[in-house]
Chain A
């Protein structure tokens, strides 16, 4: 598509923010980036990030990132360790709020609603934008309770049978059911690293979030379990929006429609996955995907 029109279309709802904040000109800012990094905008965006800057105290971890995440799209984020992929992902559902020293500037919208609006309640936001963390973090509860936790607090189920149903289907879809079906009352912390990772994926999809942020969901998984998760991602894409951070180029190529390459806190290049991997326009991207980085 023509990027210029996309930016024009967005100009409408952006002028509001300019009026209230008056800090910078979003339109100009995004236009300046379009040429450099590729198609940051999509036809039907689910989430839009403009001029996002993140600071950990003095450290400037994310610099001027502009990115759209489209409906029914899987976008993968790649880049060397420490480049800010997790940081950016955590901005999208405001998980960075829990870090005292972290400060986020810029604008992030979910369906046109500013998620950093002071009046917005983060609780429903996080129910809508679910997250699988980089480090598996099961609760020290039973496997069953780990999955049941979300559906219970949101009142998604009315009786025990429904809850059993949700737990089983979530575990099945994460490819963990056959391994744990006889041990549902054992603590989730007693599982192996890869099992914990799938448990956390199951826990996230159990509340059916509309946007799912996955931070290296397969980092500890064997090829079979990985294939299972990639299958899940494909299946979820029909209804949901997914952003996945991965260190595996093959995985990015397999599951995602768009790929974003981050480098030292900057978004260097974003575009169709096929284009990025076959014909990267930026030298840094090329070096990274061909393994010449560092």
Chain B
């Protein structure tokens, strides 16, 4: 039985189990009138049976599928002729691959010998047996589980508590998966970063002013010193993010104020989604825009007034990135401004304040923590942005505060360090992990601050 069919049958069984147990719970108390004698509502007895029917079967199903391929392969290898089995690891692997391909009807790499044909047939038959066994085991588990739950149905049985226990377990598992993934990501980056710091001193990385990660592979190579000072990268990140935030905070906040305080209902219903479209444009498209439209525009106008603008400039990338993150600020700010109770506005108008006084002195201060939260979120986004910078700000790690020059950022360097490399053992590739770790720490700190601010905001007014 194919797996999809098996799952569908199992779902069907669960539905049947639900109905049976539900009916039975009503039956044991003598129909709908006796429902109050039951400890739980009838549907809880149904859910309880469905859980017993589905959960053990699903667990077995999952484990079976996870280990099936290894076990079958091992069984098949055990039956191969002795001279094949005595081959080295790598060659054996190739043979096994060929046999599998043969079994699945794909093209094999070499000649098909009768032994291989036999092994492939063996493999196929093992697979079929496994599938049949799985179906039998899963379905009988489902039936057994249903039977058990069916027998447990009685007025005193606390079905609701049991169901809630299982649901709580599922919730806990879901949340721990998220947490463990985060921990896993951090640890993997951390270990690689530690390997990097074994080769390059931590202080050199954090305080170094020179970034030139090309290492000499041969002794006689020139111009590849391998300097790993991260400061120019963080300076570049800071410069571009700063430009982006200047653009986004002003435009975003102003449009939020316009949308929530001045715009009519219709205007708001139209303008807000349109603004939010900005967040949906892929960053690559912003990158085109920055590199092909904004950067040349800045360069041409700069040279008109005698400024020396490089064709890839921090300004172009920053401006376009700022436009990209406008909706983060405008949308969130608009929401928090709207959440300020009308009573606050009334209070202010009631003592004769104008609308602008009310906005500046009552609404913005009341909404400020929420606005700050939105701004910090936008900062995290700006720091992590890669595509626009690659396309519009260049790759050269310049130490400069001049927005008209080309700079590079941490994320861009991570990408260029890793592109085309598979071996993670030179300082050059490992540096990417160290940069990633630093970036992670910075954005994490920002997020913690943002969360803290948002929590404080909740206590502002009831």
**B-contacting residues of A (Cβ < 8 Å)?**
93, 95, 98, 100, 122-128, 130-131, 133, 135, 137-141, 149-150, 153-154, 189, 200, 203-204, 206-207, 209
Contacts and interface: CB of A to CB of B under 8 A. Distances in A.
Contacts of B460: 140, 189
A274 B366 CA distance: 46
A98 B344 contact: no
Contacts of A135: 343
B349 A126 contact: yes
B342 interface: yes
Contacts of A206: 351
Contacts of A130: 350-352
Interface stretch (B140-148, B166-174, B186-194, B353-361): B353-361
Given A141-B365, A149-B361, A153-B357, A133 B348 contact: no
B352 A98 contact: no
Given A98-B342, A137-B343, A153 B462 contact: no
5 contacts: A98-B349, A122-B349, A130-B352, A140-B365, A149-B353
B445 interface: no
A200 to B, nearest CB: 7
Contact of B350 (A93, A141, A154, A189): A93
Quick one: which of A93, A126, A207 has the most chain B CB within 10 A? A126
A132 B350 CA distance: 8
Contact of B348 (A124, A128, A149, A209): A149
A127 B347 contact: no
B352 A139 contact: no
Contacts of B366: 139-140
A271 to B, nearest CB: 29
B346 A95 contact: yes
A207 B353 CA distance: 11
Nearest to A135: B343
Q: Which 3 pairs of residues, A with B, have the shortest CB-CB distance?
A: A127-B352, A137-B343, A150-B351
Contacts of B351: 126-127, 130, 149-150, 153, 203-204, 206-207
Interface in B411-462: 460-462
Given A123-B353, A154-B352, A204-B351, A133 B346 contact: yes
A87 to B, nearest CB: 14
Contact of A133 (B265, B350, B352, B354): B350
B213 to A, nearest CB: 51
A204 B350 contact: yes
B362 interface: yes
Contacts of A139: 344, 347-348, 362, 366
Contact of B354 (A123, A140, A141, A203): A123
A150 B352 contact: yes
B272 interface: no
Contacts of B343: 133, 135, 137
Nearest to B360: A153
Nearest to A100: B265
Contacts of A141: 365
A93 B353 CA distance: 13
B39 interface: no
Contact of B347 (A100, A123, A133): A133
A188 to B, nearest CB: 10
B350 A126 contact: yes
Contacts of A204: 350-351
Given A130-B352, A150-B352, 14 more contacts: A98-B349, A126-B349, A126-B350, A138-B347, A139-B347, A139-B348, A140-B365, A141-B365, A150-B351, A150-B353, A153-B353, A203-B347, A204-B350, A204-B351
Contacts of A209: 352
B381 interface: no
Contacts of B357: 153
B122 interface: no
Nearest to B350: A131
A116 to B, nearest CB: 16
Contacts of B352: 123-128, 130, 150, 153-154, 207, 209
B158 interface: no
B160 interface: no
A7 to B, nearest CB: 32
B195 interface: no
Nearest to A132: B350
A209 B350 CA distance: 10
Contacts of A128: 352
Nearest to B352: A127
A95 B343 CA distance: 11
B394 to A, nearest CB: 47
A45 B192 CA distance: 84
A95 B347 CA distance: 10
A126 B345 CA distance: 13
Quick one: which of B346, B352, B353 has the most chain A CB within 10 A? B352
B268 to A, nearest CB: 12
Contacts of A127: 351-352
Nearest to B366: A140
Contacts of A93: 350
Contacts of A100: 265
B345 A98 contact: yes
Contacts of A125: 352
A65 to B, nearest CB: 21
Contacts of B349: 95, 98, 122, 126
Contacts of B365: 140-141
Contacts of B341: 137
A189 B347 contact: no
Contact of B346 (A98, A122, A150, A153): A98
Interface in B333-384: 341-354, 357, 361-362, 365-366
A124 to B, nearest CB: 7
Contacts of B350: 93, 95, 126, 130-131, 133, 204
